[in-house]
Structure 1
Amino acid sequence: MSTKAFASQADLQDKQVSFTRLSEHAYAYTAEGDPNTGVVIGDNAVMVIDTQATPVMAQDVIRRIRAVTDKPIKYVVLSHYHAVRVLGASAYQAEHIIASQDTYDLIVERGEADKASEIGRFPRLFRAVESIPPGLTWPTITFTGKMTIWLGKLEVQLLQLGRGHTKGDTVAWLPQEKILFSGDLVEFDATPYAGDAYFKDWPQTLDRIAALQPQQLVPGRGPALTTPEQVQAALRGTRAFIADVYASVQAGVAAGKDLKTVYRETYDKLKPKYGEWVIFDHCMPFDVTRCYDEVTQYPDPRVWTAERDRQMWETLEG
């Protein structure tokens, strides 16, 4: 078997960006399976949900916002701590950067390691990496469970519905319009990255999203979902993938198999069903490693470092 290029280092193809209007107040910045950004335009201010990976990349989001409104960008919301979601934050010059307290704690614990790890894994997603200011992106406001922000008469609820993609996952919910920005808790036609996940909790968290009955949803990756049917399909697909990885790994561990064997078997089982999803080959080694950890001896995700990334890849794909 030929050794695969590490993670997504060989992925160099730029993606076509779309800026989709979901309502008078909500827009989705999407790029063919690259990380999405949500935009909420209230009566007096703009909120951005997830920032893109670098300030230079964030400028493209700002340009599109400025094509539809001149209201100030006051709030940046971080759905979770991953570098590819947060390191563009400085470009918006927002008054407030908001995250869950759990996300803040993860930045303290593993922000530096994650930054080095992610840039090494997927260089294309960090265009103009030199534009990132030194240090990390720090929230100025944190909350636990629920926080409501009023953009004039427009209500935005920031909700922690449970652990899934990370322990700090936050969704942004517009109850008046039934529009949800899910971050990486939900993907569409894109493989969930689960290297920092809670496999046992994730399906239940998706059930709580479904219970809100969103009419439209902006996933972490993939196109904006503009009908309840599309939303259901995305929830179903994400739930099935997480459940399938977990079931396969659990069965392998119960049979006393080592990580490498479990990885190969899980990859082969899932490839026919999910192999066409964006970043499938990139995610699978990280996803199976984390799942194996969770099933065996690590209830909480271990910190990924650039060195640990390489060792894992060598073990499973070398």
Structure 2
Amino acid sequence: MKKSLIALTLAALPVAAMADVTLYGTIKAGVETSRSVEHNGGQVVSVETGTGIVDLGSKIGFKGQEDLGNGLKAIWQVEQKASIAGTDSGWGNRQSFIGLKGGFGKLRVGRLNSVLKDTGDINPWDSKSDYLGVNKIAEPEARLISVRYDSPEFAGLSGSVQYALNDNAGRHNSESYHAGFNYKNGGFFMQYGGAYKRHQNVDNVKIEKYQIHRLVSGYDNDALYASVAVQQQDAKLVKDNSHNSQTEVAATLAYRFGNVTPRVSYAHGFKGSFDDADLHQRLRPSGCRCGIRLLQTHFCLGFCRLVARRQRRKQI
């Protein structure tokens, strides 16, 4: 009986500590129509069209904080995908963490956005298709099982460092180091995000070193948003000491009229250098798994309309 009482007391401590819980979420869905035409020798050999209802990033989450005194707070969040099509499952599969926040900044441990992902406003589009958004330049962004520190803001300048473990799945299956900074002055802003990896294995292709750098600059005053970005990727392969690189640029312009936001984006990937053509052809069909790809130009035009947004706070 004594052991049972102790166990119940310990189990109740986290609930008592996190008394103020915020329930939040977003439902995003749409209808996408596509048409593809296959050519052979200048002749059209097939035409395919398709229409489907897709989920565009619906989520539900819980978050809270507890004042520990002396300006220090314990923070936590559990967030997961919530597809209206019922295709997503799991718990905590979006940004989920525990941490501390205070005058020193913010320290978190868990499944966290990479520093590079936090510079992703250059791609504001919600779509499952690579052709309905600036999705290719955003491919290296990820949520990683990691430790991350974000500094407080000094005169508009703040910075972040992050270390990701090698137990992340897929193409993030190696240790990686991330850093970035943000600068704001009025509506003007500048962001940098970068990452470095060693000894990565992608589709049985061994990568000795990989690095990526992205710089974003623009203006955002809540109504008008304009930004340009440049991104550079380099991968050194173990095989034959070969080197692959790619440079990409993108620009987005948007203006909000109430709940309606027309926007336009343009992206261009310059011709990269590929010492291993066989590697490039093997990686390209699977979505450029190491991030390197051929020349590509992409243009998007459209608008979005905000229907509703609500958060609910509940005392437990």
What band does the TM-score fall into relative to the shorter chain?
under 0.3
- Structure with higher helix content: 1
> Could you state the TM-score of these two structures normalised by the residue count of structure 2?
0.26
Relative contact order, higher structure (CA 8 A, sep 6+): 1
Q: What TM-score, normalized by structure 1, do the two folds share?
A: 0.26
Higher Cα Rg, which structure: 2
Q: 1 or 2, which has the higher strand percentage?
A: 2
